[in-house]
Structure 1
Amino acid sequence: MLNGEKRIQKPLRWAMVGGGRTSQVGYKHRTGALRDNTAFTLVAGAFDIDAQRGRDFGENLGVDANRCYSDYKTMFAEEAKREDGIEVVSIATPNSTHYEICKEALNAGLHVICEKPLFFTSDEVREVKALADEKGKIIGVTYGFSGSQILLQARKMIENGELGDIRLVKLHYTHGFHADAAEKENSAAKWRVDPKISGPSYVLGDLSTHTYYISQLLLPTMKVEKLMCDRQSFIKSRAPLEDNAHVIMHYDNGAVGTMWVSAVDAGCHMSQGVRIVGTKASIEWRDSCPNQLHFEEQGKPNQVLFRGMPYLYEEALAEERLGALHEEGLSESWANIYLKFAIAIDAQNRGDKEFLKTFVYPDINAGLEGVRWIENCVRSANEGSVWVDFK
């Protein structure tokens, strides 16, 4: 159980690029990183493209005004001169900026935590992965839903064969908040439908990469061999970027998967779900009820497994914070992945490569798989919604 005691020798000196007053994700990063104040300490930031607004915001967070910088390049250069300079930086900026900021951070000797999708192309990810290896630095990717502990129960049940052989993988992440042209009034929505900033996709990159990573977390030995993607721009001004897509996947073990991703699912507030079907049983998880795992065994009464209960596997209890009956949500999920980032960075700093071989967290390899997913979905859709090999 986690109770706030330190898991690493001392908190990591942490900064943010982006995540300022108008950011949709900045607060999620800070609640995650600072939930256990023994993991990270926010000491600097280039919080906003508007330097004065970013400085004012940083000061209101308690950051020294002298360490609230006008841009990330200045921050990296100035912090490198300090004995107490930053050790890790989170990148919470639009997609088109990730690649350059990440390279600059690595060359400045920093570990990196980055929003998803990492970059526009898998070649860019491979290049940066090689640079991170050269510099001996960790890159974490904020698949923020994946820290829900009950998912580790599902992973262990699948590993133990409790579902039998996996046949079907059913994934979805939908909402209706962009069922109209919300980007006309909302600047945070506007850049997401601009291919110069968002990249080659909208909902496939912005939403489905979360759920695709969760499927990889639960099914680490199963690989997609080929897929077919059909995508639509129901708000015509969003073309060529999609606001809705359906994907069919064939896995290397013979299983079949589906993904429905949408920002035009009018009235939907249930968001994200994963259902895994085996020869003996099925499991289902939804982010609207993140403390529950539905287990349905053929010929037996259905069960609902609850987070924090002693009947769960040890893996699902290791990050318990509040105890059973007290509901945890997205903030705790972010806290769990940020704590894992801290533990991974600490292990890397100590040279503990054996530990990192088996430590499970959303790392750069997970980021690479997310970008590959987007590339293959877009390629299939652009070629007329045809089957393509998963390259």
Structure 2
Amino acid sequence: MFNEEFHLEQPIRWGMVGGGRGSQIGYIHRNSALRDRLFTLCAGAFDVNEERGREFGVNWGVAPERCYPDYKTMFAEEAKRPDGIQAVSIATPNFTHYEILKAALEAGLHAICEKPLCFTTEQAEELVSLAKKQNRIVGVTYGYTGAQMVHQARRMIQEGVLGEIRIINMQFAHGYHSSAVEANDPGTKWRVTPEKAGPSYVLGDVGTHALFLAETMVPNLKIEKLMCARQSFVKSRAPLEDNAFVLIQYDNGAVGNLWASCVNAGSTHQQKIRVVGEKASIEWWDEHPNQLIFEEQGRPVQILDRGQGYLYQDDEAITCDRMGGGHAEGLFESWANLYRRFATAMDRVIHGESSNVVMDDIWFPNIRDGAEGVRFIENCVRSSDQDSVWVNYT
């Protein structure tokens, strides 16, 4: 059961870039970071509109003088304070992530960043090297991977319950953008604009979530090559795709497929991961995050529930139930579980440990995972742009 008495000697002094008034993702960051008393929101550059950002911050309880017009000013001014921020969350559009994260690391800050970290593998490797040089933790908000049943699946696979892994089916295919909603929605408009979204829309926006869920469940499999086909069914979105199919070949001979879409009309989410082994299969659906379907050949289907005694009990990622079994937990709990891990890792570095970018005994979505997401998109675009040929994963 979740230990609500866990605490740090001092909560981590924390700031935000973006995520101000009306930002759904900003609300999720704050709700998750502050839930367990491990972070204190001390400062922010919440909005490109300075007055609106300051008003928002003050309403949230941030001192007016620590509500800044931009991230550069915030990093510079906070560095002068004995009580300046130690970490920052970056909740801004894609095209800003690289420069803000780089500046945060150069300022000696730990960071939590939305994906993608940047647009190119070269930039991603630069950020990884900088995080290592600065001995700083960078968490990436693959927010669904804090769900306990994802880690139950991971353990079952590690323990060989499924046998050798043969097939991985991944999908994140919603229908909210099945028409040109961007005409009246600025939040969608930048996502379908190459200069602001990068070289991909749905693969980067939702596809990498499904990919990382699979990588979390089956971390030992590595992609050898892939083939990608992208479509722009709403023609004005071209060259960015609103639908994509990816075929994957792994290094052990297993195969995978990924369907990423925002034009799956009628669907609300449809993020599902199914891992097929030689003896059994498991499936997790983010709309029902408290359950894991387990199908063993020749036996009745089992639905495993969060919070039950038959799950692995020696794994904190599985037993960190904030409510007893039978009560529904969801996205906020999953994100809070990740922020708890981010805080624990950051606190250890603050107290003198070396991060080496990742920590072997604390699992969390880290900067190397974020870099791998960038690499995946780059390879998908390369395949698609060559008329959907198989390409070696580089």
TM-score grouping bracket, smaller chain normalisation:
over 0.9
In structure 2, list runs of 5 or more residues that go unmatched. none
Deviation at 1:352, TM superposition (A): 3.6
> 19-28 or 260-269: which moved more?
19-28
Q: Deviations over 1:7-57 (max 9, x none)?
A: 4322100000000113231011111101111x1111110000001110111
Superposition pairs for residues 6-21 of structure 1, below 5 Å? 6-21=6-21
2:364 counterpart residue number = 361
1:4 counterpart residue number = 4
Q: Which amino acid aligns with 2:362?
A: F
What SS does structure 1 have at the residue aligned with 2:363? coil
2:159 counterpart residue number = 160
User: Residue 246 of structure 1 contacts residue 259 of structure 1 at CA under 8 Å; is this kept in 2?
Assistant: yes
Deviation at 1:348, TM superposition (A): 2.1
User: Residue 347 of structure 1 contacts residue 356 of structure 1 at CA under 8 Å; is this kept in 2?
Assistant: no
Deviation at 1:365, TM superposition (A): 0.7
Inter-partner Cα distance in structure 1 for 2:181 and 2:23:
16
In structure 1, list runs of 5 or more residues that go unmatched. none
Superposition pairs for residues 294-313 of structure 1, below 5 Å? 294-313=293-312
Inter-partner Cα distance in structure 1 for 2:134 and 2:29:
24
Deviation at 1:353, TM superposition (A): 4.6
1:327 counterpart residue number = 328
User: Residue 24 of structure 1 contacts residue 188 of structure 1 at CA under 8 Å; is this kept in 2?
Assistant: no
User: Residue 23 of structure 1 contacts residue 188 of structure 1 at CA under 8 Å; is this kept in 2?
Assistant: no
Inter-partner Cα distance in structure 2 for 1:2 and 1:43:
26
Q: Deviations over 1:194-252 (max 9, x none)?
A: 00000000000000111111111011110010000000000111000000000000000
What SS does structure 2 have at the residue aligned with 1:75? helix
2:32 counterpart residue number = 32
Q: Deviations over 1:343-373 (max 9, x none)?
A: 1111222344599123211000100110011
1:370 and 2:373 matched: yes
User: Residue 50 of structure 2 contacts residue 68 of structure 2 at CA under 8 Å; is this kept in 1?
Assistant: yes
Inter-partner Cα distance in structure 1 for 2:145 and 2:23:
21
User: Residue 174 of structure 1 contacts residue 265 of structure 1 at CA under 8 Å; is this kept in 2?
Assistant: yes
1:242 and 2:220 matched: no
1:211 and 2:210 matched: yes
Q: Deviations over 1:137-191 (max 9, x none)?
A: 1111000111001111000000000000000000000111100001100000000
User: Residue 7 of structure 1 contacts residue 343 of structure 1 at CA under 8 Å; is this kept in 2?
Assistant: no
What SS does structure 2 have at the residue aligned with 1:231? strand
Inter-partner Cα distance in structure 1 for 2:70 and 2:269:
37
User: Residue 244 of structure 1 contacts residue 262 of structure 1 at CA under 8 Å; is this kept in 2?
Assistant: yes
Inter-partner Cα distance in structure 2 for 1:75 and 1:33:
19
1:87 counterpart residue number = 86
User: Residue 226 of structure 1 contacts residue 250 of structure 1 at CA under 8 Å; is this kept in 2?
Assistant: yes
Inter-partner Cα distance in structure 1 for 2:240 and 2:269:
23
Inter-partner Cα distance in structure 2 for 1:152 and 1:348:
25
1:114 counterpart residue number = 113
Q: Deviations over 1:114-133 (max 9, x none)?
A: 00011001110111111111
What SS does structure 2 have at the residue aligned with 1:230? strand
Q: Deviations over 1:271-299 (max 9, x none)?
A: 20000000000000000000000000000
User: Residue 3 of structure 2 contacts residue 320 of structure 2 at CA under 8 Å; is this kept in 1?
Assistant: no
2:139 counterpart residue number = 140
Inter-partner Cα distance in structure 2 for 1:304 and 1:247:
29
Inter-partner Cα distance in structure 2 for 1:222 and 1:339:
27
1:338 and 2:339 matched: yes
> 319-328 or 4-13: which moved more?
4-13
TM-score normalised over the length of structure 1? 0.98
What SS does structure 2 have at the residue aligned with 1:248? strand
Inter-partner Cα distance in structure 1 for 2:352 and 2:70:
32
1:380 and 2:379 matched: no
1:186 counterpart residue number = 185
Inter-partner Cα distance in structure 2 for 1:7 and 1:383:
52
1:347 counterpart residue number = 348
Structural RMSD (CA)? 1.2
> 348-357 or 332-341: which moved more?
348-357
User: Residue 175 of structure 2 contacts residue 269 of structure 2 at CA under 8 Å; is this kept in 1?
Assistant: no
TM-score normalised over the length of structure 2? 0.97
What SS does structure 2 have at the residue aligned with 1:25? helix
Q: Which amino acid aligns with 2:36?
A: D
Q: Which amino acid aligns with 1:371?
A: V
Q: Which amino acid aligns with 2:359?
A: L
Superposition pairs for residues 268-279 of structure 1, below 5 Å? 268-279=267-278
User: Residue 169 of structure 1 contacts residue 276 of structure 1 at CA under 8 Å; is this kept in 2?
Assistant: yes
Q: Which amino acid aligns with 1:229?
A: C
Q: Which amino acid aligns with 1:143?
A: Y
Inter-partner Cα distance in structure 1 for 2:81 and 2:209:
37
Superposition pairs for residues 251-290 of structure 1, below 5 Å? 251-290=250-289
Inter-partner Cα distance in structure 2 for 1:340 and 1:75:
25
Q: Deviations over 1:366-386 (max 9, x none)?
A: 001100110011110011000
What SS does structure 2 have at the residue aligned with 1:325? coil
